[in-house]
């Protein structure tokens, strides 16, 4: 079928064959010129896919009418150009594909129909841990141990890259997915199948939004939704509101991009942007580099938006050249964007589109800051850090409180380490990590950290040897320019050796602390501190022994490491005293912006990017040596504790089952606000006394071989036992933190998995009660798969984070939401009732349904299936069941 919207056929590049593109700016429709640039990308994707199977002309008209229909829950399809995955979410996706091939074959279909249709890149970046640090061979030792632990997972991924077309694996040791996407994978404009069109992407990691900083519209989705996209299914989404975020002025000389993004995160959490696009505009944007914009876009999940879009401008075009992209292709990219009215000039206010709402930030008001101690949105000015932490010490247990008795605020514990005596107290820094794509992608803050380290060493400052310091760059390019600029040796002298190329401390792969440090923390019940240049600091995420964790720029990470405590006022107190007895203050060693920019201009050059990325797929010899099977169907090993065929498709038939009411369900867990996906399905350490540990021990493994929950996501038996296993879980049924709940029929307090198993054996369905922002954090689909396997049929919450709600829908778990103005408190719910949820025969999006309690009380809630397509998935028992039936028939 010919596409009715192709308006122009032009050769953009005389040297290339004739190319077609959809000239949106010549639709001869004044509505187009008023659309936010992010909505123009959605419009182009709808036009490009306008045929009788995917997109109707009415969908295009709805997008053009965005200003009128944005508040009306209008459903539109979106088919992104690409999909990216990381290995923690990529392994379960490939496991699902392998199991889906088996299921399609059993139903009489062609198993090879289960295959990605669009390009899919999987970057292995989540497996490496900080086992070794503060030594010159840390990188090699950590990489060797990574392969020793994950050989089976890596062999499985290599099988997937051979068994499935359009799937490329970027081997371990290459960098962090979002930085690799920014510096190498992103096209900005696609040149495929005879057409030019805007690049767009969804990824199985919530920080996929980082690429929005380059003008590529992208956001995170759950693994199950990404799998459907790879199989050709468009994303069904409600046409979003777009908040225009106007940036004005120039940042102060001491302010970094980290300070700007932490300020924006707090601001937008207060504004409320969940489920919305944020689009940046205004003259202040022109003052930000692409690395700065990418830092701001990266933390989009932390302020709750779907996307954080910076339209393409001349600075974006310059970045493509700086990072070694082909110049001729870059010029074609610019010509295309000019032709379709999608090249932005941020200083030209006549280009400003219509927005749902406009909020402003004057960059001159931003001050150096951190965020913590438990949430990214809790920004604290550096000048207030000491006072704020000391207030948190005594405050009631919560996001800003540890409830430490006043007489214990100055407790000190002495300990012995490497032949010397040291002291730890509340606020002592025990982890200092320059980590995460949020900041290591930005040469200005990385070179700033290097120059600060140089000045610190030259001033005679050191870092105490027990502090676990580390540097984990997001790509090999970072190491290249740190080394060439001469600052790498100074970072090493302060303990910040390169320990690996991956997410590491930011995702909880921080490795063990010295035993004497752990003993001191435990003995004194101390609030020890981690400081990291990451994007998340939720409880229990960074390390089990750091109860307070602060997000900070790389230079500040080094500063707090030198100070050894968070309880310091940098303006009044010295960082340290050198061998000559001189007091050294932070202002004495902080590099100026001019110093940083001069080094950046000299050493961050296109040749570096070309040299690193031309060999990225072949440079890892350990990966090259892996032997993987070549069969199209995977041969499951029943002895494996990493890779296991999941039970999701057991007993699946072509016939649909009519959804039935959920009758007399027990409440498995009763939560308050801001329960994150880290609480629901932790990625880090497997506690030795946990159900998952008992299972692995029964399979003959020792604690040293447990690895992490994230690495075990290809095995449902481990992951079901790891669901709600976070040691900082706060369940209203229990009077202390921990992964336990009450089994009401017996009255016993049990581990969550053990209680769920008892309910399941007795045939009792389960639900979960929660407050606001349920499912905040990462895109991990195991936060939905795990509860599904525990027998959770529905969640009743005050509000949901976008990705997690979609994941629940994808697994057939019903997301229920209290009516406006109602919650568990106003309804008098204790969680000890039994719940019957009435499922009407005829369902429609966001309809109210009835819930009956065994007490006789009845109330209503909103069934958060937001589109007709989501209802179709529900009737199929989930999105993957739908795709299997579609492929089999």
Ordered DSSP codes for 766-803:
EEEE--SSBTBS---THHHHHHHHHTEEEEEES-B-HH
Percent of residues, the chain, with pLDDT higher than 70: 96
pLDDT band of 543, cuts 50, 70, 90: very high
Q: Which residue has the tokens 């401390």?
A: 505
Confidence check: pLDDT of 74 > 90 = no
Distances (CA, A) of 614 to 329, 513, 607, 617, 813: 17, 37, 11, 8, 44
Whole-number pLDDT of residue 379: 95
Cα separation, 358 vs 287, whole angstroms: 20
DSSP state of 25: G
Whole-number pLDDT of residue 403: 95
pLDDT band of 540, cuts 50, 70, 90: confident
Whole-number pLDDT of residue 405: 95
Cα separation, 113 vs 632, whole angstroms: 11
Cα separation, 203 vs 82, whole angstroms: 8
Reduced to 3 states (helix: H, G, I; strand: E, B; else coil), residue 851 is: strand
CA angle 287, 285, 475 (to 5 degrees): 80
Cα separation, 131 vs 225, whole angstroms: 34
Average pLDDT, the chain: 92
Domains of the chain: 82-350+357-365 (3.30.499.10), 370-611 (3.30.499.10), 662-681+723-888 (3.20.19.10)
Cα separation, 190 vs 654, whole angstroms: 37
Nearest to 435 by CA among 507, 382, 351: 507
Whole-number pLDDT of residue 538: 86
540 vs 467 pLDDT, higher one: 467
In this predicted model, what pLDDT tens digit does every residue of 97-131 receive, in sequence order?
Answer: 999 999 999 999 999 999 999 999 999 999 999 99
Cβ pair 216, 188 in contact under 8 A: yes
- 47 sits in the region (left: phi over 0; alpha: psi -120 to 50; else beta) called alpha
Cβ pair 243, 357 in contact under 8 A: yes
479 vs 657 pLDDT, higher one: 479
Whole-number pLDDT of residue 777: 78
Cα separation, 832 vs 550, whole angstroms: 37
Confidence check: pLDDT of 193 > 90 = no
DSSP state of 428: B
Q: Is 14 exposed, middle or buried (0-12, 13-18, 19+ CB in 10 A)?
A: exposed
CA angle 363, 367, 369 (to 5 degrees): 125
Cα separation, 282 vs 802, whole angstroms: 27
Confidence check: pLDDT of 241 > 50 = yes
Whole-number pLDDT of residue 778: 76
Average pLDDT of the residues in 667-691: 93
DSSP state of 56: -
Whole-number pLDDT of residue 815: 98
Whole-number pLDDT of residue 198: 93
pLDDT band of 17, cuts 50, 70, 90: very low
CA angle 428, 433, 438 (to 5 degrees): 130
Cβ pair 495, 467 in contact under 8 A: yes
Whole-number pLDDT of residue 28: 54
In this predicted model, what pLDDT tens digit does every residue of 746-780 receive, in sequence order?
Answer: 999 999 999 999 999 999 999 999 999 999 877 78
Range from 52-66, 69-83, 208-222 that averages highest in pLDDT: 208-222
- Please give the model's pTM, rounded to 2 decimal places: 0.88
Following DSSP, what letter does each residue of 74-95 receive, concatenated? -EEEE--SEEEEEHHHHHHHHH
5 vs 803 pLDDT, higher one: 803
Nearest to 147 by CA among 625, 634, 482: 625
Q: Which residue has the tokens 């958060």?
A: 864
In this predicted model, what pLDDT tens digit does every residue of 590-622 receive, in sequence order?
Answer: 999 889 999 999 999 999 999 999 999 888 999
In this predicted model, what pLDDT tens digit does every residue of 370-383 receive, in sequence order?
Answer: 999 999 999 999 99
Whole-number pLDDT of residue 5: 45
Q: 10 Å Cβ neighbour count for 598? A: 12
Strands, E assignment, 249-362 = 277-281, 307-309, 357-362
Q: Which residue has the tokens 């932790």?
A: 682
Distances (CA, A) of 384 to 256, 396, 813: 17, 19, 44
Whole-number pLDDT of residue 356: 96
Average pLDDT of the residues in 316-335: 94
Reduced to 3 states (helix: H, G, I; strand: E, B; else coil), residue 597 is: helix
Whole-number pLDDT of residue 339: 83
* Number of DSSP helices (H) and strands (E) in the chain, helices first: 33, 34
**Chain centroid offset of residue 820 CA:** 29
Tokens found for residue 109 = 């279909």
Average pLDDT of the residues in 62-77: 84
Average pLDDT of the residues in 343-350: 96
Range from 23-32, 47-56, 283-292 that averages highest in pLDDT: 283-292
Cα separation, 883 vs 889, whole angstroms: 10
Q: Is 75 exposed, middle or buried (0-12, 13-18, 19+ CB in 10 A)?
A: middle
Q: Is 564 exposed, middle or buried (0-12, 13-18, 19+ CB in 10 A)?
A: buried
Of 50-59, 478-487, 704-713, the least confident: 50-59
**How do 120-123 and 217-220 pair as beta strands?**
unpaired
Dihedral sign computed on CA atoms, order 645, 646, 651, 656: negative
Whole-number pLDDT of residue 804: 92
In this predicted model, what pLDDT tens digit does every residue of 810-844 receive, in sequence order?
Answer: 999 999 999 999 999 999 999 999 999 999 999 99
437 vs 452 pLDDT, higher one: 452
Reduced to 3 states (helix: H, G, I; strand: E, B; else coil), residue 440 is: helix
Cα separation, 599 vs 298, whole angstroms: 25
Q: What value does the CA radius of gyration of the chain take, rounded to a whole number of Å? A: 26
pLDDT band of 215, cuts 50, 70, 90: very high
DSSP state of 545: T
Tokens found for residue 209 = 């939004």
Cα separation, 99 vs 648, whole angstroms: 9
Q: Which residues of 220-258 are buried (b: 16+ CB within 10 A; e: fewer)?
A: bbbbbbbbbbbbbbbbbbbbbbbbbbbbeeebeebbbbb
Confidence check: pLDDT of 139 > 60 = yes
Cα separation, 208 vs 85, whole angstroms: 9
């Amino acid at each position: 079928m010919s596409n009715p919207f192709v308006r122009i056929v032009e050769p953009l590049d005389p040297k290339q064959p004739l190319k077609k593109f959809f000239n949106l700016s010549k639709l001869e429709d004044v509505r187009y010129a008023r659309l936010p640039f992010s909505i123009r990308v959605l419009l182009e994707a709808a036009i490009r896919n306008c045929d009788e199977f995917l997109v109707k002309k009415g969908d295009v008209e709805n997008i053009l009418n965005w200003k009128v229909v944005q508040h009306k829950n209008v459903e539109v399809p979106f088919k992104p150009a690409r999909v990216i995955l990381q290995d923690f979410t990529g392994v379960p996706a490939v496991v699902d594909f392998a199991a889906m091939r088996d299921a399609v074959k059993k139903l009489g279909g062609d198993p090879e129909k289960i295959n990605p249709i669009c390009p899919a890149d999987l970057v292995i970046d989540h497996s490496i841990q900080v086992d070794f640090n503060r030594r010159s061979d840390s990188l090699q030792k950590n990489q060797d141990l990574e392969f020793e632990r994950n050989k089976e997972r890596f062999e499985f991924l290599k099988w997937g890259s051979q068994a499935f077309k359009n799937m490329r694996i970027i081997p371990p040791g290459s960098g962090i997915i979002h930085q690799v996407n920014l510096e190498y994978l992103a096209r900005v404009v696609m040149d495929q199948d005879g057409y030019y069109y805007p690049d767009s992407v969804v990824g199985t990691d919530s920080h996929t939004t980082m690429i929005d900083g380059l003008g590529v519209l992208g956001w995170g989705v759950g693994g199950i939704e990404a799998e459907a996209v790879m199989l050709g299914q468009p994303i069904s989404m409600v046409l979003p509101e777009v908040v225009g975020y106007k940036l004005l002025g120039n940042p102060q000389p001491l302010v970094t991009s980290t300070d700007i993004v932490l300020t924006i995160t707090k601001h937008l959490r207060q504004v409320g942007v969940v489920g919305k696009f944020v689009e940046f505009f205004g003259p202040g944007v022109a003052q930000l580099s692409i690395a700065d914009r990418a830092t701001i876009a990266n933390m989009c999940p932390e302020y709750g938006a779907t996307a954080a879009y910076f339209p393409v401008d001349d600075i974006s075009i310059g970045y493509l050249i700086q990072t070694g992209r082909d110049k001729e292709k870059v010029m074609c990219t610019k010509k295309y964007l000019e032709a379709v009215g999608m090249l932005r000039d941020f200083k030209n206010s006549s280009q400003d589109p219509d927005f749902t709402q406009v909020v402003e930030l004057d960059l001159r008001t931003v001050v150096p800051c951190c965020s913590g101690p438990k949430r990214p949105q809790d920004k604290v000015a550096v000048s207030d850090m000491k006072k704020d932490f000391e207030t948190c010490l005594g405050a009631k247990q919560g996001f800003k409180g540890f409830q430490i008795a006043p007489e214990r605020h100055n407790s000190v514990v002495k300990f012995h380490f490497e032949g010397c005596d040291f002291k730890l107290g509340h606020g002592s820094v025990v982890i200092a990590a320059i980590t995460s794509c949020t900041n290591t992608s930005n040469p200005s803050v990385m070179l700033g950290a290097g120059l600060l380290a140089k000045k610190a060493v030259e001033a005679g400052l050191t870092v105490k040897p027990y502090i676990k310091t580390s540097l984990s760059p997001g790509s090999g390019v970072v190491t290249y320019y740190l080394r060439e600029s001469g600052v790498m040796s100074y970072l090493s002298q302060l303990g910040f050796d390169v320990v690996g190329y991956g997410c590491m401390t930011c995702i909880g792969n921080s490795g063990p602390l010295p035993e004497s440090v752990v003993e001191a923390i435990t003995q004194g019940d101390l609030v020890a501190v981690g400081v990291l240049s990451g994007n998340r600091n939720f409880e229990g995420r960074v390390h089990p022994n750091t109860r307070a964790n602060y997000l900070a720029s790389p230079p500040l990470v080094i500063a707090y490491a030198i100070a050894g405590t968070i309880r310091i006022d940098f303006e009044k107190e010295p960082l340290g005293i050198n061998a000559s007895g001189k007091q050294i203050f932070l202002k004495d060693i902080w590099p100026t912006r001019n110093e940083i920019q001069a080094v950046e201009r000299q050493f961050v050059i296109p040749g570096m990017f070309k040299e690193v990325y031309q060999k990225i797929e072949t440079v890892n010899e350990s990966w090259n040596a892996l032997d993987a099977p070549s069969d199209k169907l995977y041969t499951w090993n029943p002895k494996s504790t990493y890779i296991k065929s999941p039970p999701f498709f057991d007993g699946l038939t072509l016939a649909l089952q009519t959804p039935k009411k959920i009758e007399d369900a027990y409440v498995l867990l009763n939560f308050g606000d801001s329960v994150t996906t880290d609480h629901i399905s932790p990625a880090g350490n497997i506690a030795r006394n946990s159900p998952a540990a008992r299972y692995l021990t029964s399979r003959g493994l020792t604690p040293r071989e447990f690895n992490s929950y994230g690495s075990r996501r290809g095995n449902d038996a481990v992951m079901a036992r790891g669901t709600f296993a976070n040691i900082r879980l706060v369940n209203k049924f229990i009077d202390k933190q921990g992964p336990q709940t009450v089994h009401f029929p017996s009255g016993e307090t049990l581990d969550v998995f053990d209680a769920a198993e008892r309910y399941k054996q007795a045939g009792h369905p389960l639900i979960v009660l929660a407050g606001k922002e349920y499912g905040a954090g990462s895109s991990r689909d195991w936060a939905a798969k795990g509860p599904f396997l525990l027998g959770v049929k529905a969640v009743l919450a005050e509000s949901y984070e976008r990705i997690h709600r979609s994941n629940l829908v994808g697994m057939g778990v019903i997301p229920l939401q209290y009516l406006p103005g109602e919650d568990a408190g106003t309804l008098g719910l204790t969680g000890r009732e039994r719940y019957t949820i009435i499922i009407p025969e005829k369902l429609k999006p966001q309809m109210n349904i009835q819930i009956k309690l065994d007490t006789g009380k009845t109330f209503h809630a909103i069934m958060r299936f937001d589109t007709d397509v989501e209802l179709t998935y529900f009737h199929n028992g989930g999105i993957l069941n739908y795709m299997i039936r579609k492929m089999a028939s």
